Chain A
Amino acid sequence: MSTEPLAASLIVLRDASVTFGAVAAVRKATMRVRERDFIAIVGANGSGKTSLLRLLHGVVAHTGSRFVPRPSVVQAMVFQRPFLLRLSVLNNVRIALWLADRHVSASGREARAIQALERVGLGALRHRQARSLSGGEQQRLALARGWAVRPDILFLDEPTASLDPSAKKDVESLLAGFAAEGMTLVMSTHNLGQAKRLARRVVFMDEGRIDVDLPTADFFAAGTPGRAGLFLKGELSWSLDG
Chain B
Amino acid sequence: MNTVADAAAQALSLVAAADPKLVDIVLLSLRVSLLAVVFGSIIGLPLGAALAVNDFRGKRGVIVILNALLGLPSVVVGLVVYLLLSRAGPLGSWGILFTPAAMVIAQTILITPTLAALSRQVVADGWGEYREQLRSLGETRWGAATTLLWDLKFSLVTIVLAGFGRAASEVGAVMIVGGNIDGVTRVMTTTIALETSKGDLPLALALGIVLLVAIALINVAIVLFRTGGGSLAVETR
Do residues B147 and A131 form an inter-chain contact, with CB atoms below 8 A? no
Interface size on A, residues (CB 8 A): 26
Residues of A within 8 A of B147 (CB): 85, 95, 99
CB within 8 Å of B: which A154-170 residues: 155
Complex CA gap A57/B133 in Å reads 11
Do residues A131 and B236 form an inter-chain contact, with CB atoms below 8 A? yes
Residues of A within 8 A of B150 (CB): 85, 87, 95
* CB contact under 8 A between A57 and B151, given known A83-B129, A86-B233, A86-B234: no
Residues of B within 8 A of A130 (CB): 233
Do residues A79 and B133 form an inter-chain contact, with CB atoms below 8 A? yes
Residues of chain A touching chain B, judged by Cβ–Cβ distance below 8 Å, are 54, 57, 59-60, 75-77, 79, 82-83, 85-87, 95-96, 98-101, 129-132, 145, 149, 155
CB nearest to A145 among chain B residues: B137
B130: contacting residue among A54, A77, A83, A87, CB under 8 A: A83
- Distance from A133 Cβ to chain B, minimum over Cβ atoms (Å): 9
- Distance from A166 Cβ to chain B, minimum over Cβ atoms (Å): 21
Do residues A86 and B230 form an inter-chain contact, with CB atoms below 8 A? yes
Main secondary structure of the interface of A (DSSP, over half): mixed
Main secondary structure of the interface of B (DSSP, over half): helix
Residues of A within 8 A of B229 (CB): 86
Do residues A149 and B138 form an inter-chain contact, with CB atoms below 8 A? yes
CB within 8 Å of A: which B123-166 residues: 129-130, 132-139, 143-144, 147, 150-151, 153-154
Complex CA gap A131/B232 in Å reads 9
Q: Does B237 contact A (CB under 8 A)?
A: yes
Do residues A87 and B133 form an inter-chain contact, with CB atoms below 8 A? no
Do residues A132 and B139 form an inter-chain contact, with CB atoms below 8 A? no
Instruction: Report the 3 A-B pairs with minimum CB-CB distance, sorted nearest first.
Output: A83-B133, A77-B136, A129-B233
Interface size bucket, B side? 20 to 34
B138: contacting residue among A60, A85, A101, CB under 8 A: A101
Do residues A59 and B129 form an inter-chain contact, with CB atoms below 8 A? no
Interface contact tally, CB-CB below 8 A: 61
B136: contacting residue among A76, A85, A87, CB under 8 A: A76
Do residues A99 and B233 form an inter-chain contact, with CB atoms below 8 A? no
Do residues B138 and A129 form an inter-chain contact, with CB atoms below 8 A? no
Residues of A within 8 A of B154 (CB): 86
Do residues B137 and A85 form an inter-chain contact, with CB atoms below 8 A? no
A99: contacting residue among B129, B143, B153, CB under 8 A: B143
Complex CA gap A95/B135 in Å reads 13
CB nearest to A146 among chain B residues: B136
* CB contact under 8 A between A87 and B143, given known A132-B233, A132-B236: no
Residues of B within 8 A of A99 (CB): 134, 137-139, 143-144, 147
* CB contact under 8 A between A131 and B137, given known A85-B151, A87-B151, A98-B143: no
- Distance from A87 Cβ to chain B, minimum over Cβ atoms (Å): 7
* CB contact under 8 A between A59 and B137, given known A95-B147, A98-B143, A129-B233: no
Complex CA gap A86/B236 in Å reads 11
Complex CA gap A145/B134 in Å reads 12
Residues of B within 8 A of A96 (CB): 137
- Most chain-B CB neighbours within 10 Å: which of A82, A95, A149? A95
Do residues A57 and B138 form an inter-chain contact, with CB atoms below 8 A? no
Residues of A within 8 A of B137 (CB): 76, 96, 99-100, 145, 149
CB nearest to B131 among chain A residues: A59
Complex CA gap A168/B59 in Å reads 44
* CB contact under 8 A between A59 and B132, given known A87-B151, A99-B137, A99-B138: yes
Do residues A129 and B143 form an inter-chain contact, with CB atoms below 8 A? no
CB within 8 Å of A: which B181-237 residues: 229-230, 232-234, 236-237
